[in-house]
């Protein structure tokens, strides 16, 4: 198949696991995709290597000092990439006229503004930043509708559900004969552990996921099941679902990535090896399919598929997320902000593993639920929750 011109792609969060996997898929199809811009927070060495390999038109770092360093290094290497710094630059490379596709893979609340800018500019947005929907789901989806942007979920679970639903699935699940979404979870590295064992968990243990290769923050979220809670919130917005219509199913093999149950008794599932290049390739090429570099699933090697209910008493973050989505308004933004602070404190050794859910719950109780109709109010709720979380940490 021939293409008139390659699609220009901006990769936000290029040095993380999703970003590097995206660049791997892009490199397999040089006639089809071209890198327009790459961004990183402070991983300037990794970004330098990526710029040398992929030759983007622009590169963006968080701090101007790092941008100055990268400019010098690229000039010495003879790489003609413009280097910029800061949030405004992220917003501009996300909404630039030349850009066709934006991979939104910045971890945390920092990804909201550039991802929203890409949506407002009507881009094809490959959403790997779940916090954008967690914080501002209603506003975000309204902008998708208004701008005509194409929103394709990249989280393996949401991508699986997207593949299991009809092409047009807005308007409520019942309208399309769907009775339930089954959101699978590996259970993380501590599945089956009791409270006494969880109290002794170290950051190194929490970051050692049994199936997926992920960044430290997401690995901790997977270990606490907060990642699944955030995904539940995201799924509600993506698929116009109520929290009661989504069941979390622990599936240790991570082979079935999620399922959709229909009113005729059918359950449609998407299966594959646990490799993020599969949903990334799906998003890049949709509605077509392209080679991703992922090995085909061998069911004889898998041999068995197990399922169990999540233990919400040992892992309360899942319950907290469901309650936040039910409460609505700024409750999910508060949940996300408190969790980001708690995870950072845990990784720094300032908070125990079991303290993550405890701190999130206390911040949730201390912050009133307000309207989430305006971006300014959402960002204010986010900042207020972070202050509350740090205050409680410092008073421990």
273 is an annotated ligand-binding site residue: no
Q: Three-state SS for 59?
A: strand
309 is an annotated ligand-binding site residue: no
211 is an annotated ligand-binding site residue: no
100 is an annotated ligand-binding site residue: no
209 is an annotated ligand-binding site residue: yes
Residue pair 1/32 in contact (Cβ under 8 Å)? The answer is no
Closest CA to 357 of 231, 220, 213, 187: 220
186 is an annotated ligand-binding site residue: yes
Residue pair 34/41 in contact (Cβ under 8 Å)? The answer is no
256 is an annotated ligand-binding site residue: no
217 is an annotated ligand-binding site residue: no
298 is an annotated ligand-binding site residue: no
306 is an annotated ligand-binding site residue: no
222 is an annotated ligand-binding site residue: yes
Residue 293 host element (H or E): none
The CA–CA distances, whole Å, from 20 to 14, 39, 65, 284 equal: 6, 11, 24, 14
CA–CA distance, 232 with 215 (Å, rounded to integer): 20
358 is an annotated ligand-binding site residue: no
Write out the DSSP string of 136-150: HHHHHHHHHHHHT-E
The CA–CA distances, whole Å, from 133 to 111, 230, 235 equal: 10, 9, 9
15 is an annotated ligand-binding site residue: yes
Residue pair 149/143 in contact (Cβ under 8 Å)? The answer is yes
CA–CA distance, 184 with 83 (Å, rounded to integer): 40
Residue pair 106/132 in contact (Cβ under 8 Å)? The answer is no
CB atoms within 10 A of CB 31: 10
Residue pair 357/320 in contact (Cβ under 8 Å)? The answer is yes
130 is an annotated ligand-binding site residue: yes
Residues annotated within a binding site: 15-18, 42, 129-131, 155-157, 186, 209, 215, 222, 227-228, 231
Residues annotated within a binding site for 1-deoxy-D-xylulose 5-phosphate: 130, 156-157, 186, 209, 222, 227-228, 231
Residues annotated within a binding site for Mn(2+): 155, 157, 231
Residues annotated within a binding site for NADPH: 15-18, 42, 129, 131, 215
């Amino acid at each position: 198949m021939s293409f008139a011109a390659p699609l220009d792609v901006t990769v936000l969060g290029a040095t993380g696991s999703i970003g590097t996997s995206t660049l791997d898929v892009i490199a397999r199809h040089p006639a089809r995709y071209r890198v327009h811009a790459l961004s990183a927070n402070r991983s300037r060495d990794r970004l330098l290597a990526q710029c040398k390999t992929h030759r983007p038109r622009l590169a963006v770092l968080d701090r101007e000092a790092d941008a100055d360093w990268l400019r010098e290094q690229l000039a010495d290497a003879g790489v003609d990439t413009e280097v910029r710094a800061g949030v405004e630059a992220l917003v501009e490379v996300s909404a630039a006229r030349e850009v066709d596709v934006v991979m939104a893979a910045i971890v945390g609340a920092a990804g909201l503004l550039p991802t929203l800018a890409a949506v407002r500019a009507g881009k094809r947005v490959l959403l790997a930043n779940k916090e954008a929907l967690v914080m501002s789901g209603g506003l975000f989806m309204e902008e998708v509708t208004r701008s005509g942007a194409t929103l394709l979920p990249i989280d393996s679970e949401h991508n699986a559900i997207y593949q299991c639903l009809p092409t047009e699935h807005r308007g409520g699940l019942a309208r399309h004969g769907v009775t339930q979404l089954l959101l699978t979870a590996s259970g993380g590295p501590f599945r089956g552990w009791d409270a006494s064992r969880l109290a002794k968990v170290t950051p190194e243990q929490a970051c050692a996921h049994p199936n997926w290769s992920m960044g430290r923050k997401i690995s901790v979220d997977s270990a606490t099941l907060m990642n699944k809670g955030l995904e539940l919130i995201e799924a509600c917005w993506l698929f116009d679902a109520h929290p009661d219509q989504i069941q979390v199913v622990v599936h240790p093999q991570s082979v079935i990535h999620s399922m959709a149950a229909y009113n005729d008794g059918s359950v449609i599932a998407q299966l594959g090896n646990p490799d993020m290049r599969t949903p990334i390739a799906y998003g890049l090429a949709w509605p077509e399919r392209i080679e991703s570099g992922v090995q085909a699933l061998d069911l004889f090697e898998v041999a068995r598929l197990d399922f169990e209910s999540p233990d919400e008493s040992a892992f309360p973050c899942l319950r907290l997320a469901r309650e936040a989505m039910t409460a609505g308004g700024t409750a999910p933004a508060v949940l996300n902000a408190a969790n980001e602070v708690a995870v950072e404190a845990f990784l720094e050794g300032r908070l125990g593993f079991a303290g993550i859910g405890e701190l999130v719950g206390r911040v949730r109780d201390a912050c009133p639920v307000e309207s989430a109709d305006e971006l300014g109010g959402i960002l204010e709720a986010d900042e207020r929750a972070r202050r509350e979380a740090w205050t409680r940490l410092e008073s421990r």
